[in-house]
Amino acid sequence: MRAVILYNTSWYVYLLRRNLIRALQTAGCDVSVVAPVDGYTERVKALGVQHIPITLNPRSTSPLAESASVLSIYRALKSVRPDFVLSFTAKCNLYAGLMRSRLGFKQVANVSGLGEGFQRGGALAILMRQLYRRSLFGAEHVFFQNREDREMCLSSRLAHPERSVVIPGSGVDLDAFKPAAKPLPSPVTFLMFGRLLPKKGFDYFLSAARELKPIYGEQCSFWVLGSADYDRPESVELLERIMRAHSDGAIRYLQSTDDVLPILRDADAVVLPSTYNEGVPRSLLEALACGKIVITTDWKGCRETVQHGHNGYLFAPHDAESLQRFMRKVVDSPEAVRAQLGSNSRQLAKERFDERTVIDAYKRAMGLSRVTSLPAVHRTHLAPSPTVRGDNIRPFQPPAGKRWDTREHRL
């Protein structure tokens, strides 16, 4: 069986889907990856797959650029003649759907959030609904990452109800992401990490840090890890606000890394005040697996990761006061209480978000046998990352005499 993984970056393929690729290979599939060339392309090739480059800008709305993208994807898929195309992200789902009948493959589309087009409304949202209806309704299977997105698509007749299911996000590798003992005594550390987008709620985290740091002093600390999208002015402006907070001592902006695990293990709680239109945030899944308290918005995808008061806390979107109240609750709680909340997070990850559940869903959709265990994770492909603690953590330092540029420090 020939299978194609279609993504808008090689980076995401390597970081999020390499265990899926290995499981499909183990099941006897010939796997190809169709994605743009980036810094992770060689790592993807090292997984033993054929990498076919395409031209695709995730944020472009230019008819000329999109026509070039469609042609690029069509040529790539035609060269492979796959039996199945596993598509991810809005454009890949849409464009693969438009080619499905012509090239004769079956499509498994992963809707990891409906994207910014649906949030903006207007003509773009109307156009996207028309494209989704044409491309998703005839897919072999459509995987949604939260029930709200599935219900919206079904009510709008964008997807077939009998071929649409909710899966637990991207899942998380419980063998790679696991709890580790934190040295005591140490500050209660709040971590927010991910792409630097305003709708992720970074400004609420910065505000909370500025309010709470003068109250608690060295009793708690606030870390931000992430990189700016230089194609988005709002992301660059957010980075500038983060750097000011770093310079003021309110937060520590950490040097971005390929391997977030050592930093995540040294945190006590992961915060995500998001109202972004996505599936289940990857940062929260990794936080659960590592046994961290989760504080996030009562928002689709985010709320899936928290049982309020059991493993973390949910607060209303844009409610800065409520966010700060729960962060204070974490700091003021005894160590034993924080440890129990974290243990409950790990248990929730085991029960709901094991990556093997996601891989099993794909194998069933493709008529393959279930996976009983994940292939070994070959971490030699990852850049080595030292164990970090306290002063060993490397905050971002602008080069002397130069304007800082975090394009050299991507997450």
Residues 6+ away with beta carbon under 8 Å from 319: none
Q: Are 277 and 317 in contact (CB under 8 A)?
A: no
State yes or no: pLDDT of 350 exceeds 50: yes
The pair of three-digit structure tokens given for residue 272, joined into one six-digit string: 């995500």
Domain ranges of the chain: 2-166, 188-353+384-392
Cα 173 from Cα 194, distance rounded (Å)? 18
Predicted pLDDT of residue 95: 95
The pair of three-digit structure tokens given for residue 407, joined into one six-digit string: 């394009």
The pair of three-digit structure tokens given for residue 333, joined into one six-digit string: 């709680």
State yes or no: pLDDT of 81 exceeds 70: yes
Mean pLDDT along residues 358-380: 70
Mean pLDDT along residues 145-166: 90
% of the chain residues with pLDDT over 90:
73
Which of the pair, 123 or 90, is modelled with greater confidence? 90
Q: Taking the CB of residue 377, how many other CB atoms lie within 10 A of it?
A: 14
3-state secondary structure 309-356: CCCEEEECCCCHHHHHHHHHHHHHCCHHHHHHHHHHHHHHHHHHCEHH
Cα 161 from Cα 250, distance rounded (Å)? 48
3-state secondary structure of 269: strand
pLDDT in tens, 241-280: 999 999 999 999 997 787 899 999 999 999 999 999 888 9
Of 71-80, 139-148, 314-323, least confident by mean pLDDT is 139-148
Predicted pLDDT of residue 130: 82
Q: Which CATH class for the 2-166 domain? A: alpha beta
Cis peptide, bond prior to residue 262, ω within 30 of zero:
no
DSSP β-ladder status, 106-111 and 84-88: parallel
| Closest of 316, 317, 312 to residue 327, by C-alpha | 312
Indicate the pLDDT class of residue 58, thresholds 50, 70 and 90: confident
pLDDT in tens, 180-232: 887 666 899 999 999 999 999 999 999 999 999 999 999 999 999 998 988 89
Predicted pLDDT of residue 61: 78
3-state secondary structure of 109: strand
Predicted pLDDT of residue 384: 32
Q: Are 108 and 366 in contact (CB under 8 A)?
A: yes
Indicate the pLDDT class of residue 127, thresholds 50, 70 and 90: confident
| Closest of 245, 271, 243 to residue 403, by C-alpha | 243
Mean pLDDT along residues 54-74: 91
Phi and psi at residue 404, to the nearest 5°? -65, 150
Indicate the pLDDT class of residue 124, thresholds 50, 70 and 90: low
Q: Taking the CB of residue 155, how many other CB atoms lie within 10 A of it?
A: 8
| Domain made up of 188-353+384-392: CATH architecture | 3-Layer(aba) Sandwich (3.40)
On the question of a common fold for 2-166 and 188-353+384-392, the answer reads yes
**Taking the mean position of all CA atoms in its chain, how far away is CA 339?**
25
State yes or no: pLDDT of 322 exceeds 70: yes
Predicted pLDDT of residue 258: 78
3-state secondary structure of 402: coil
pLDDT in tens, 7-34: 999 999 999 999 999 999 999 999 999 9
Mean pLDDT along residues 340-352: 98
State yes or no: pLDDT of 120 exceeds 70: no
